[in-house]
Structure formats: structure tokens, C-alpha cells
Amino acid sequence: MAILITGANRGIGKGLRDHYVAEGETVYGTARGELPVEGNWLRLDLRDPAGFPRLAERLDSVPLDLLVCNAGVYRDKGMKLATEYPAALWAETFAVNVTGVFLTVQALLPNLQMADAPRVAVITSAMGSSERAPGHSYAYRASKAAATNLARNLAVDLEPIGIAVGAYHPGWVRTDMGGSNADIGLADCVAGLAARFGALDLASTGEVLSHDGSPVPF
């Protein structure tokens, strides 16, 4: 199985990459900075539209069984409504968390179509739930709500060509982004997400689930 994971050099993305490499899968990882020496690495900065054609060119004729759109940013943690949230922060957040997801799927659509039962997994967040909406972290929450919406609409349009799409909340995970007080460890998160990705098919396309398989309100 061939898998591409965006943002695979740290946090959840690294955990997923390590999991699939250990299982003997062919894994391509993207990062926007210096690339690790070992493994199949591709440079991709989701803020730069010019990077997506280059990514597609590097993967020309490579069938992709699973695309994991994991890379994301959370810049507004702890920001104050009255005095912070500059326009540039909103632009970067949506460029990475929403537009970057779309452009990645669009660029790699030919590669997905080459596989027998291709899947796209979008890492979203329950923080984007409009039903819960506890306030604060406005840019991140809005971007993850949009990412979930994007995944569900992609599921509709890609189903006729045999590509399943799901959106997944990884849980509150003890990573650099999640912090040391988060609910679950990386190993539990990765095991749960890998199980969800493995079960994703055309019958379940459009699902929005947590790492443990429970539905996420959106």
C-alpha cells in the first residue's frame, strides 16, 4: 500500500508515518522545512500554491492508496478577541487548514485514481463543531469547521469515481500542539486513526468520526 501523509515530520503526522513504516507500507511524507535524511520525503508548504504542481510532478505515475491530509496550524491559542487576531493570521490558518487540503487532493487526484480502492483522510477537529462552539480560538475553529465541510463535499463528488473520503478528529493529543495536559497519548491516537482509515470505504464515505470511532457533531 502506498500512503502520503502531509506534515509527517512531527506530532500526529510523524506518529502515523512511523506506524505505517513499521507495518512495511510505502510511505511518502511531506514537510515544509528541512527534510529528514531517511525515507521518502517531499517538500510541501501548504501556504505556497506553486508547491502543489511540483508535488504532483514528483509523484507522477505513483498510485496512492491513502492520502492523509494532516498538516495544520493553530496560531490563535490563547489570543484575546479585543486586541489580537490579525488578518494575516486568518489568511495563514485558512491557507494551510482548508485551501491546502483542497489543493493537495486536487493535485494528487490522478494518483488516487490509479489505486484500486483509494481513500482520503482529512484530519479535522471537534473544535470546529458548530454544535459545541464554546468560544475562543476563532480562526482555528472556523478553519476546522470548513475542513470538515470540505471533506464531506469531496466525499459526494469523488464517490462516483471510486474515492472514499472521511474526516477525523484525532482527540486532544499530547503533542507540541496539544500540550502536556491533553487527554490521550500519541500511540492511542495513531492506533485509533489507523483503524478508522482502514475501515473507510465507499459505504462509509463522508463519515466524521473521532479516533475512537465515535461520531463527531459538526
Q: Which residues partner with 2 through β-bridges? A: 26
Query: For residue 65, what is its C-alpha cell?
Result: 492508496
What's the pLDDT at 144? 98
- DSSP, res 15: H
- Taking 70 as the pLDDT cut, the residues of the chain under it are 176-178
- With respect to residue 216, please indicate whether it lies within any of the assigned structural domains: no
What's the pLDDT at 95? 98
pLDDT in tens, 174-196: 876 667 777 889 999 999 999 99
- With respect to residue 163, please indicate whether it lies within any of the assigned structural domains: yes
- With respect to residue 99, please indicate whether it lies within any of the assigned structural domains: yes
- With respect to residue 129, please indicate whether it lies within any of the assigned structural domains: yes
- With respect to residue 218, please indicate whether it lies within any of the assigned structural domains: no
* Cα 64 from Cα 78, distance rounded (Å): 38
What's the pLDDT at 174? 80
Q: Kindly give, in sequence order, each residue whose CB lies less than 8 Å from that of residue 101, ignoring residues fewer than 6 positions away.
A: 46, 69, 122, 147, 150, 151
**What value, to the nearest 5°, has the Cα angle with vertex 193 and ends 49 and 114?**
55
What's the pLDDT at 180? 72
- With respect to residue 75, please indicate whether it lies within any of the assigned structural domains: yes
- With respect to residue 217, please indicate whether it lies within any of the assigned structural domains: no
Are the CB atoms for 97 and 73 separated by under 8 Å? yes
Query: For residue 191, what is its C-alpha cell?
Result: 492506533
Q: Which residues partner with 29 through β-bridges? A: 5, 41
* Cα 40 from Cα 27, distance rounded (Å): 7
What's the pLDDT at 80? 97
**What value, to the nearest 5°, has the Cα angle with vertex 211 and ends 198 and 73?**
105
Instruction: State the catalytic residue, choosing from 20, 28, 140, 168.
Output: 140
Work out how many domains the chain is built from and give that number: 1
Distances (CA, A) of 36 to 12, 29, 33, 111: 16, 10, 9, 24
Range of the domain at 89: 2-210
Question: How large a percentage of the chain has pLDDT more than 70?
Answer: 99
SS3 146: helix
Give exposure, 82-118, as e/b (b: 16+ Cβ within 10 Å): eeebeeebbebbbbbbbbbbbbbbebbbebbeebeeb
85 tagged catalytic: no
- With respect to residue 195, please indicate whether it lies within any of the assigned structural domains: yes
What's the pLDDT at 88? 98
Assign residue 65 the CATH number of its domain. Answer: 3.40.50.720
